[in-house]
Amino acid sequence: MAKVTEKLEGMDVWVYHGKIDIPNTYSAGAVGSQFLIELRDNKKIMGTRCPTCNRVYVPARSVCKDCFGELSEWVEVSQKGTLLTYTVAYQSNPIQPVSTPIVYGIVQLDGADTGFVHMLGEVDPEKLKVGTKVKAVFKVKKERAASILAIKYFKPLKR
Partner 1 sequence: MAGRVAIVGVGQTRHTSRRDDVNLPEMVGEAVRAALADAQLSIKDIESFIFSNMESFEGLLLPDHGMITEVGAAGKPGLKVTGGGTTGSEAVGEACNLVSAGLFDITMVVSWQKHDCGDATAGISAAAVPIAAKGLVVGAVSEFAKQALSYINQSGATEEHAAMVRLKADRCACRNPYAHLRLGLKGLEDYLKSGYLVWPIRMLDFCPQSCGACVVVLASEERAKKIHKKPVWVVDFEVAHQEPFSAGSFGDPTGTETYSQDVAAERLYKRNGITDVRKQVDLAEIYEPSTWEEMSLYEHFHFCEKNEGWKLIEKGVTEIEGEFPVNPSGGVIASNPIGATPVIRIAEAALQIRGDAGEHQATRDVKTAIATALGGPNWTAMFLLKRSL
Partner 2 sequence: MAERVAIVAAAQTKYHPNRADVSEEELAYEAIKQVLEETGLTLSDMESAITCCQDAYDGRTIASLSLQRVVGAHFGHELTVAEDGINAAYVAVSEVLSGHFETVLLVSHMKESQVEKSVIENCVFDAILMRQLGLDFTSAAALQARRYMDRYGITPEQCAKAVVRNRRNARNNPFAQEPMDVTVDDVIGSRILASPIRLLDTKPISDGACAMIMTTEEKAKKLTKKPVWIAGVSNCYETHYLGDRELADCDALVKAAKKAYSMAGINDPLSQIDVAEISTEYSYQEPLWLEGLGFCGRGEGGKLVDSRTLEMGGQLPVNPSGGVLPGNPNGVAGMARVAEAVLQLRGEAGAGQVEGAKVALAHGYTGICGQHQAVMILANM
Partner 3 sequence: MAKGSPIKKAEGPEYIRIEFDLPRRYNWSTGRYLGKVYAEAKENKKMVAPRCPKCKQLWARPPAPVCPKCKVDMGWDWVELPLTGTIFQYTYQVYPLWDPHEGERWSNPHPPAIILLDNGIYFRHCLEETDTKKLKEGMRVQAVWEEDYEKRGLGFLDILYFRTIEE
Q: What is the binding site for partner 3 (CB under 8 A)? A: 3-5, 7, 11-30, 32-34, 36-37, 94-95, 146-147
Select from partner 2, partner 1, partner 3, none the partner in contact with residue 97, using the beta carbon and a kind-dependent cut-off of 5 to 8 Å: partner 2
- Is the sign of the CA dihedral 135, 140, 146, 152 positive or negative? negative
Amino acid present at 128: L
Closest CA relative to residue 128, chosen from 91, 98, 101: 101
Taking CB under 8 A as the rule, does residue 93 contact partner 1? no
Is 18 an interacting residue with respect to partner 1 (CB under 8 A)? Answer: yes
Cα radius of gyration (the chain): 21
How far, in Å, CA of 107 to CA of 104, rounded?
Answer: 10
Residue 87 beta carbon to partner 3: minimum distance, rounded to whole angstroms? 22
Specify the DSSP element, H or E, that contains 106: strand 102-109
Q: Which does 62 bind (CB under 5 to 8 A by kind): partner 3, partner 1, partner 2, none?
A: partner 1
Number of residues that bind partner 1 (CB under 8 A): 24
Binding region for partner 1 (CB under 8 A):
5, 14, 16, 18, 20, 22-33, 61-66, 68
